[in-house]
Structure 1
């Protein structure tokens, strides 16, 4: 897949990623987004965090004659976005892509300009194994003896995306999400939406000999993880990629999660 980063001259940063198989994902983080000040977020902090991060994924279709691309949303951090079609007029110019959503109620026009990123100078065979869109398949959990454990909260859909430019993004959504009662969510509704969605983005580095990949997270749906690294052990199967975060200590024992993804387009 190709990664195209939002211009650094803008007030936000993020990626729009398209794959020839017809899948896509968007992540945008507003400027000056910071972790919560205390252990528990205030309602104002929750709403600010919710409004300053955009994330959705799904499919896309292009109408060259009309000059439009339509994003068909499978899921979005905003639960109301799921199932929507976002139509965008598009224009290419050299290494940039400009998307124009429909005008607002006041007639105002927003232009989102994205810059195509170059491939890594040293693109290895291991990078090529990662590059592309991967669809969430399952979450498994085992104890330190390898015995399977029940998974209380899993995911129902998602993508993890790796690009040849050395960047990645992840989208994961849990089942049973509820829509906000009104047009704008309350702090409680915003917190619920964020707790049932996972999204972050940034560069990735592969440590092939040690068998792990590091996801750097300059952008993250949860403000507390901005700037942190996520280390994942990895294993490729027949059209699958399994990622394992560090094991957790639970009730004196070790618990290991494993997220398996299936390559899109195969």
Structure 2
């Protein structure tokens, strides 16, 4: 099935996260909150946060303790840029302009996609997370306008 960029336009809510271990085939899930936005001009943004991140004791966003900073950073991801669709490969590509994870800046993040009604699942290429090589599957549900 051929999908145009317009198919992705709108706001999406994260409904599930799965980590598929590429070495042993194991799958683990994680709770997370997230939003994904695509517009008609080809712009996109993604934000994902894991629950349980500690509040900063100082109540100062620029003065966390080292432990608070690590927990806040490792418990979230966010980036923005533009996007394109490769129908032949059933892939959406996020062209990252800026990110909380500096290694993403300037990268082209390829995500295989599969639609199921008002939901879409994106699967990453293999990545290293917490020392393991995994494929991450993120399922998003369209937010009604």
For Structure 1 versus Structure 2, the TM-score category normalised by the shorter chain is 0.7 to 0.9
| SS of 1:183 mapped into structure 2 | coil
Task: Classify 1:247/1:131 alpha carbon distance in 2 versus 1 (closer, same or farther; 3 Å).
Answer: same
How far residue 190 of structure 1 moved from its aligned partner, in angstroms, is 2.5
- Point out where structure 1 has 5 or more consecutive residues left out of the alignment: 1-123
- Map 1:34-183 onto structure 2 (within 5 A): 126-142=4-20, 149-151=27-29, 154-183=30-59
The 1-side partners of 2:46 and 2:128 are apart by 25
RMSD, aligned α-carbons: 2.7
Higher relative contact order (CA 8 A, sep 6+): 2
How far residue 125 of structure 1 moved from its aligned partner, in angstroms, is 5.9
How far residue 148 of structure 1 moved from its aligned partner, in angstroms, is 5.5
Compute the TM-score of the two structures, normalised by the length of structure 2.
Answer: 0.82
Deviations for 1:127-165, whole angstroms, at most 9, x for unmatched residues? 121000010000123456xx65223xx242111111101
Task: Classify 1:148/1:190 alpha carbon distance in 2 versus 1 (closer, same or farther; 3 Å).
Answer: closer
Task: Classify 1:190/1:142 alpha carbon distance in 2 versus 1 (closer, same or farther; 3 Å).
Answer: closer
- Map 1:13-32 onto structure 2 (within 5 A): none
- Point out where structure 2 has 5 or more consecutive residues left out of the alignment: none
2:93 pairs with 1:245: no
Higher share in strand: 2
The 1-side partners of 2:128 and 2:46 are apart by 25
**2:110 alignment counterpart:** 231
How far residue 210 of structure 1 moved from its aligned partner, in angstroms, is 1.1
**2:76 alignment counterpart:** 197
Matched residue pairs, number?
A: 139
Compute the TM-score of the two structures, normalised by the length of structure 1.
Answer: 0.47
Question: Of the candidates 83, 88, 97, which is equivalent to residue 209 of structure 1?
Answer: 88
How far residue 168 of structure 1 moved from its aligned partner, in angstroms, is 0.4
Higher Cα radius of gyration: 1
The 2-side partners of 1:248 and 1:217 are apart by 16
